[in-house]
Structure 1
Amino acid sequence: MAQPTQPDSSQQPQVVYVQAPPEKKPFWKKKWFIVLAVIIVLVIAVQATGDGSKKSGPAADAGTSAGAGSAADGDFKKPEPAAGEAASPAAAANSSNVHNVTFTVTSNTATKADVTITSLDAKGNIQQQQENGVALPYTKTIEIDASVIFDASNANILTQVKDGEDITASVQIDDNKPSTSTSTGEYATVVASASS
């Protein structure tokens, strides 16, 4: 029986040296990230100290009363007329401190309807209210602070009859002429939007 041959001990295994790749820094230790973080912190600090402080004195009071507030400050109030100036016709027509937005739904054949109202709330924020199966005729009035800039396109009503075959919806702002829409047919649906 033949013996297996032994490897020649005079041959040495070859060793290959490979240079390891350079160690990567985590992104938070890189210069671009540190510079970006410093800029963001500075911007936040400037906004917190600059916008947070309110100016005082006659010049600042005059600017504020003239409606110089910005949208970023959340100041959406109408400017007050300066002394000696006449108030605008809209302001004269609305002598109270609120706008009254009245939504009405009627029908000759239906007794119930689903109603969705989109309007501003008392503080001027857009809101939506939904009521299902309300009895007809239906009327709802929302009071909005008169100092809020009021865009009539923010007041509308969508309604659909639950029974019957006709429906009429209207939106009226203060004493202005109401904007009215009518629809007929099975499951009649109508949208009425306020006009300015």
Structure 2
Amino acid sequence: MGRWQPDARGRLERAALELYVERGFERTSVAEIAERAGLTERTFFRHYADKREVLFAGSSVLQEALVGAVAGAPESVTALDAVAAALGAAAAVLQERQEHARRRQSVIDANTELQERELIKLASLSTALAGALRQRGVDDASAGLAAEVGIAIFKIAFRLWVDRTDDRELSEFIGQSFAGLKAVTADG
């Protein structure tokens, strides 16, 4: 594949994930990723700061979906309902890339450094959600709590989804996780 061909970023992402699954994250070099993608190391570093970031580059798309859904939620809904709408938007983004998400998660699960980076990504998403809720007039404490609860629900639903053996979609796991939250917080 020639270096002039389009979608260098996508080619690098696919090559990196293939190599990480085949060889492991630690045993894969930037040079090998670039070679598999038919590109140079220099091109790699134009798109990514390091080989970890290939796995986390989609975070901005996810964050935009979350924040956009909170901003677009009707004014009458509660903070948690706005977060539920945001998680629904995130599910729509991820559903199209389920196999990629599974493979990516298997690489992250096998590496402590990547697990740490994943937690940082989730914390950033929570911060962005809380900011979007504050923009809606939600007080700081409530915005932070709703955002953290939303990310906890997302983490649980995402894990169930990537580990699933049936045909359910991520949005169904998110709904199930919200129902579980309501059950554990119900009076009685």
Superposition TM-score, scaled by structure 1 size? 0.21
> Which protein is bigger by CA-based radius of gyration?
1
Which is richer in strand? 1
Superposition TM-score, scaled by structure 2 size? 0.22
Which is richer in helix? 2
